[in-house]
Chains A and B, each alone.
Chain A
Amino acid sequence: MLVVVLGAAVLSIDTTPRTGASDERLFALSARLKCLQCVGESVGASQAPLAVQFREEIRQQMRSGRTDDEILNFFVDRYGQEVLLTPPSSGVAGLVWVIPVVAVAGAVLLLYFVFRRWRDEQGGDRASEEDTELVAEALSRRRGAGDRTDDAR
């Protein structure tokens, strides 16, 4: 089973272009930039004049052979961090990446300890034979005729 999946994974290699001037790359890049003239839209999604201008700029820079990072940094230098839809990973802003990871790790750790405590406590207050009989008796009374009182597998 694993072999099949691994084989499939090898066959499936990502093909998004990272160089050259293609519309593919243009829209991949412009989706990572915020359209500053509109509300809640990326440069790739918007038809606002500024977004169209941004796309033209990206196209030019792609033609002159610049890398993804160079192009994105060009916009950050000009328009500030805000233009990038990906928050930076350093400084106060980096918290947005860190906090969820820490929170989930904390939750998992907490669950681990709770389970361990439950396991350690186990056996202390398990139902005794007597309890089981009492329950079975109460059940049979509820159902009246006492059918299947032994249904506890």
Chain B
Amino acid sequence: MNRALGLAGVILGFGGALIGIVVLSVGLRTGRGSLLRLSRPYAAVVALGATLAVVAMERALITRDYTVRYVFDHGSSATPPLFNVATLWSALEGSILLWALILAGFTLAVAVKFRRRLEDPLVGWAMLTMFVICVFFFGLLLTASNPFRGVVPPPGYDGPGPNPLLQNHILMAFHPPMLYLGYVGFSVPFAFAVAALMTGRVGEGWLVETRRWTLFAWGFLTAGIVLGAWWSYEVLGWGGYWKWDPVENASFLPWLTGTAYLHSVMVQERRGMLRVWNLSLLCATFALTILGTFLTRSGVVESVHAFSSGEVGPILLGFFAFVVAVSVFLIGWRGDRLRSPGRIDSPISREGAFLANNVVFAAFAFVVLLGTVFPLIVEAVNGERLSVGVPYFSRMTMPIGFAILTLMAVAPVLPWRKATGELLRERLWWPAWTGVATVVFAVAVGATGPFTVLAFGMGGFAAGSALRQLVLATRRQGLRGLVGRANGGMVVHLGTIMLAVAFAASSSYIRQAEFTLERNQTARIDGHTVQYLGARTVERDNRVELIARIRVDGDRVFEPRLNKYRFNGMTIGTPSVRVGPTEDVYLAMTKSPSGGNGAVGIRVIIQPLVTWLWVGGIVMLVGTALSLFPGRRRDPLAPVSEPLPDRAADPPASDDDQVPAPVAGS
């Protein structure tokens, strides 16, 4: 029943998308608007199919219908309800199903948002592109990664449940959907980029249309990545949150190119330049989401996240190659129309800074991509096996991090077109002193290491610039000075700076030790005391929890535990953390007390400022949300020299980036 229902849903989605493609192709070829208008009902059919399939799968998971292969493999009557629902995205087939649902949702959303313009060939081509992506993913669900394959369970069968790592923490219920909303969200701007190339309308119109879609996707991708880091911290038991694992890199790569795009798109909107570059960035971002899925899901790069392997690998790689080929072909084909009319007058200008931003982010993405696939390449070339790990990425990305902080410090105060030294001195005065004050403060409270201290200083400098912009904007416009792209972007910068500072502090000043403690024995580390009080055992449906009771600093008691999962005997630790604004004390049990009464192995990790990683992530999201609100924006059709409407009463503030520079530079 569930199988039939689910399969029907997938077929409905596949068929709807396929017919949608045919109808739209004919419509675009003949220019018949009545056909183009049909994209909305077809999008609805695809969405209906995806919903049906997901509902059927969830129903099968909840009712433990073991005749469905996916439930047979990953379901269990012992899984707690929330994780049972989340089992949908705990393995390959289910996550592709989730992907299909989100993709169908985005397709329908585009059709509804642009319902009055469905006859516009631009929207037509965008819908067509969305349908092509839909066909690919629904096709995957029908073939290589069919979650609704049947199986005859032996009588009394109970499944293993999802991978224990994934049912150990509640964040697993939220991290993948967030990440997928971000990943899949980038298909919308990609679809419009393809549409712009196909129709030859490569001007700025489509950029403005997709601005918010891109921000939306970027926000969710950010949330997904930060939640993933948080999950690592809360579950993996070594106090880390980011280890440049191939799968983390896979989610980070589209984020990097997406971030580059969000910045350089402003140059195009403003000056009509960098068209090829922006299109390439969007195509690269989308292609990297596919490549990321390939890396994650084919098991080609060994990694803790590559839980599954199968025949989807080659198919995903093929689709990646297809996306790249189509993008390159289209951009080459339209090359003549993509010549930008303008030029940048001076490298010391807002557009010069955006260019620098793009070089830095492209370099960042390149380093991450190279480091991720390099072991594969070398092994393929001469059979040599080597690893590219944290030390490589730390060393290579440190200068990049400093470059980004420097740009965040300087770029926000730069005017368009051209800046003079005098102007820079005046505007950077307070931010620079903020940076110096930060350095002095950091050293005063005991910061060591020249690079770390420099990172703090640059962070302070950049924060000073962002705050300066926000203060000026709110002084002029009140609370409206916080919304809109430029101002919301400054809030995002503040969040990024918090992340950067927290990253520098926690990775530089980590202190850790491993103790073996008898009952009531106390150990000291870095001015803290940890005392082992004893252990107890709690039996649950799916696991046995061994809980150690540890008193920290003679005050509160924390309970790190080891969860032994019944089905496969896998033991997963759950650390316990004393969270503080300046410092986290992280306790992980490494060895269970023998016989319940013996000595326990405890790893204690002290890291400063870790909390600010999560706070920074939240601030970034708030900033993204603020950017989604329409600020006071230019009419996209107005020439660059057009003053903003409704500014008539305001005296032109000297450094409002929305005040355009004169055309002739007079």
Contacts and interface: CB of A to CB of B under 8 A. Distances in A.
B439 A8 contact: yes
Contacts of A86: 389, 391-392
Contacts of B359: 104, 107-108, 111
Given A12-B443, A93-B386, A118 B344 contact: yes
B82 interface: no
B338 to A, nearest CB: 16
Interface string B431-447: 01100100110110001
A122 interface: yes
Interface string B622-647: 00000000000000001101110000
**For the complex of A and B, 9 pairs with smallest distance between CB atoms:** A85-B389, A45-B238, A23-B513, A40-B303, A86-B391, A152-B662, A118-B343, A82-B385, A127-B664
Interface string A53-79: 000000000000000000000000000
Given A4-B440, A87-B374, A104-B359, A40 B304 contact: yes
Given A104-B359, A148-B648, A5 B436 contact: yes
B663 A152 contact: yes
A1 B664 contact: no
A149 to B, nearest CB: 10
A39 B303 contact: yes
Interface in B372-392: 374, 378, 381-382, 384-392
20 contacts: A14-B448, A14-B450, A31-B390, A42-B389, A44-B238, A47-B573, A81-B386, A85-B392, A88-B386, A93-B386, A111-B359, A115-B347, A118-B343, A122-B343, A127-B664, A128-B664, A131-B664, A139-B638, A139-B641, A152-B663
Contacts of B388: 85, 87, 96
Contacts of B371: 96
Interface stretch (B99-107, B181-189, B239-247): B239-247
Contacts, number: 180
B311 interface: no
B367 A100 contact: yes
Interface in B558-613: 573, 590
B78 interface: no
A40 B449 contact: no
A39 B385 contact: no
A122 B346 CA distance: 11
Contacts of A128: 664
Interface residues of B, number: 74
B289 to A, nearest CB: 20
Nearest to B437: A4
Nearest to A88: B386
A111 B355 contact: yes
Interface size for chain A: under 10, 10 to 19, 20 to 34, or 35 or more residues? 35 or more
Contacts of B443: 8, 11-12
A83 B386 CA distance: 7
B256 to A, nearest CB: 13
Interface in A1-51: 1, 4-5, 8-9, 11-15, 23-24, 27, 31-32, 34, 38-42, 44-47
B347 to A, nearest CB: 6
Given A82-B386, A93-B384, A132 B666 contact: yes
B511 A24 contact: yes
B345 interface: yes
A23 B453 contact: no
Contacts of A11: 443
A85 B450 contact: no
Contacts of B392: 85-87, 96-97
B639 A139 contact: yes
Contacts of A108: 359
Greatest chain B CB density within 10 A among A83, A100, A129 is at A100
Contacts of A84: 386-387
Contact of A92 (B304, B355, B382, B662): B382
B450 A9 contact: yes
Contacts of A24: 511-513
B439 A5 contact: yes
B109 interface: no
Given A88-B386, A104-B363, A126-B664, A4 B436 contact: yes
Contacts of B347: 111, 115
Contacts of B374: 87, 93, 95-96
B454 interface: yes
B387 A23 contact: no
Given A13-B448, A27-B512, 7 more contacts: A9-B450, A80-B385, A81-B387, A131-B663, A151-B652, A152-B663, A153-B662
B142 interface: no
B389 A34 contact: yes
A39 B304 contact: yes
A41 B235 CA distance: 14
A142 B638 contact: yes
A38 B247 CA distance: 15
A85 B345 CA distance: 45
Contacts of B666: 132, 152
- Listed residue (B370, B386, B512) with the most chain A CB atoms within 10 angstroms of its CB: B386
A129 B442 CA distance: 55
Contacts of A131: 663-664
Interface string B388-403: 1111100010000000
Given A8-B439, A100-B370, A127-B663, A92 B384 contact: yes
B618 interface: no
B526 to A, nearest CB: 10
A137 B363 CA distance: 44
Interface in A106-132: 107-108, 111, 115, 118, 121-122, 126-129, 131-132
A61 B24 CA distance: 70
A31 B641 CA distance: 55
B468 to A, nearest CB: 17
A44 B390 CA distance: 12
A8 B499 CA distance: 23
Contacts of A151: 643, 652
Interface in B217-257: 236-238, 240, 243, 245-247
A27, A38, A82, A83: residue with the most chain B Cβ atoms closer than 10 Å: A27
A153 B457 CA distance: 37
Interface in B179-228: none
Interface string B298-318: 000011111000000000000
A93 B377 CA distance: 10
Interface string B504-530: 000000111110000000000000000
A123 to B, nearest CB: 11
